[in-house]
Amino acid sequence: MRLMLFVLCVCVFQGMFAQSISGNFSNFNFQKIKLEGFNGLKTYTISEAITDEKGFFKLNFTKSNYGVGCLLTSDNKPLFVILSSENIEILGEVLSVPETIKIRKGQENLYYEQYAKEQPRREQALSAWGYLEKMYTTDSLFSIQKTPIQAIQEEKQRIKKENIVFLSSLPNESYVKWFLPIRKLVSSVSIIAQYRPEEIPETIEAFRNLDYTDQRLYKSGLYKDAIENHFWLLENSGKPLDNVFEEMKLSIDAMFIKLATNEKLFNEVTDYLFDLLEKHSLFQASEYLALKVLNEGSCAINSDLSNQLETYRAMKKGNIAPEIIFNNSFFANLNKSVTKLSDMKNNYTFVVFGASWCPKCKGELTEIVKSYDKWKSKGVEVVFIALEDNKNTFIDFANAFPFPSYSDLNKWESKIVKEYYVFSTPTIFLLDNKREIILRPNSSEQMDSWVDWYLK
């Protein structure tokens, strides 16, 4: 019985570490080498080793790591490898000299290595032929030359066919057969936008067809790039901004059809995409995403994300902002006769939520001070709501500003902060004299542009 248990334990242990990456970096002895894997937007360590005196190493991985791995050394030069059901052998000098790296064993990685070398040259050639084709079909000096035009078009088709033939030749069940077209899609975005804009519609459609619940994508290392490059291409498609936002709505709808069936990924992608759209000031798209997610009944949203998104439902443009009562609290540069926000007799109010402990707030408030006289002359008042819990800190901070400042010293527990769904600082709203939300600026710079455009 003991012998059987021992044999069973050995078999299980060996099964857990069924595959390995081994090799020799001849100029990299007694150094740490690490294998990382991908889980969606995050990486994790699979295995670590120290090379011996001749640079030999061995790293183990299991079936659960199936997908793409990344070899890393102290020089931070990564080498991506396909982690499948085969052992991998690599030879070279150091990772920082990629031209010395050779795959000696592991058929899927040999395919990957070949494609990684050949496909960039095909992409460059296609862009060059595309440039010539445009010249020969639009320039009257060349457009009468039918033979070169036909030859250019035939060569473009030959290059595209060569790519298709290579991918078709790969084993149907191999990870690399799925991975390489997705890698090509993600990596070719900037080239297509710049040199082959006629391919933008089909590229966007390919992005919309991606399944973000597919474990192959989740483990590919392309999860984040697929989201970013998809929306970058939409933003840089050359269409008017209104059309861009409509296209982004279509893409969001396409992404969330399957994401709505996986609560974990639903939250993960929502959080990342919302932050991405906000950082790029694509507020119409982020608002659409927020409202779509909040109205999605099949998945629960984690509380932090829910509070963040709720801002867009409760505080969207066109809504009436809550009244702000200035009582039983502390203020600076505020007229004593003003007891509430609606007492202020100006056409617009620029409400800024911030704090002395917020580094970004200090920068924004400095810029607001510079623009304040101009804005005030055009009927815009600034009101600063400080998330503080110490009277002296608030007074010292706010006295430097020429505009009214206020704090009830309750920080995040402030009634105003909660009613305005403030979850980060700075948060900014532009209200008219009826407290209707006109704009949700991302910065003082955006507000200044609005003043210059609408209050000429």
| Least confidently predicted of 175-184, 321-330, 419-428, 447-456 | 321-330
CB atoms within 10 A of CB 373: 10
User: When comparing pLDDT for 305 and 197, which is higher?
Assistant: 197
Please give the pLDDT value at position 11.
43
Grade residue 280 by pLDDT with cuts at 50, 70 and 90. confident
User: What is the predicted pLDDT for the residue at 47?
Assistant: 95
pLDDT value at position 5? 44
Distance of alpha carbon 349 from alpha carbon 434, whole angstroms: 10
H helices within 221-358, ranges in order? Answer: 223-235, 241-259, 263-279, 283-294, 303-314
Which residues, other chains included, contact 444 with Cβ-Cβ below 8 Å and sequence gap of 6+? Answer: 364, 367, 368, 371
8 A C-beta contact, residue 33 and residue 56: no
Q: How does 305-328 read in b/e, with b if 16+ C-beta sit within 10 Å? A: beebbebbeebeeeeebbebebee
Pull the structure tokens for residue 453: 């455009």
- pLDDT for the residue numbered 266: 92
430-451 pLDDT per residue, tens: 999 999 999 888 888 889 888 9
Find where tokens 């984040």 sit: 224
**SS3 letters across 297-313:** CCCCCCHHHHHHHHHHH
Integer CA distances (angstroms), 340 to 151, 345, 412, 447, in order: 75, 11, 20, 23
Question: Roughly what angle, to the nearest 10 degrees, separates helices 303-314 and 283-294?
Answer: 120
pLDDT band (50, 70, 90) for residue 17: very low
CA atoms within 13 A on the CB side of 1: 0
Tens of pLDDT along 206-235? 999 999 999 999 999 999 999 999 999 999
Does residue 4 surpass a pLDDT of 50? Answer: no
Assign residue 318 a region (left: φ > 0; alpha: ψ between -120 and 50; beta: otherwise): left
In this prediction, residue 262 has a pLDDT band, given cuts at 50, 70 and 90, of very high
For residues 450 and 441, the answer to whether their CB atoms sit within 8 Å is yes
pLDDT number for residue 86:
93
Are 352 and 368 spatial neighbours (Cβ–Cβ below 8 Å)? yes
Instruction: Tell me the per-residue pLDDT of 189-208, one tens digit each, with 9 for 90 and over.
Output: 998 998 889 999 999 999 99
CA gap 456, 436 in Å, rounded: 21
Closest of 282, 291, 284, 281 to residue 312, by C-alpha: 291
What's the pLDDT tens digit per position in 73-120?
A: 887 788 999 999 899 999 988 888 888 899 999 999 999 999 999 988
Q: What percent of the chain is modeled with pLDDT above 70?
A: 93
- Provide mean pLDDT across the span 262-272: 92
Lowest-pLDDT choice from 14-23, 48-57, 97-106: 14-23
Largest CA distance in the chain: 91
Which pLDDT score, from 0 to 100, does residue 144 have? 86
Residue 57 has phi, psi (to 5 degrees) of -150, 165
Q: State the pLDDT at residue 343.
A: 87
DSSP state of 333: S
Which of 312, 316, 336 lies closest to 326 in space, CA to CA? 336
With CA atoms as reference, report the closest residue to 286 among 329, 334, 337, 245: 245
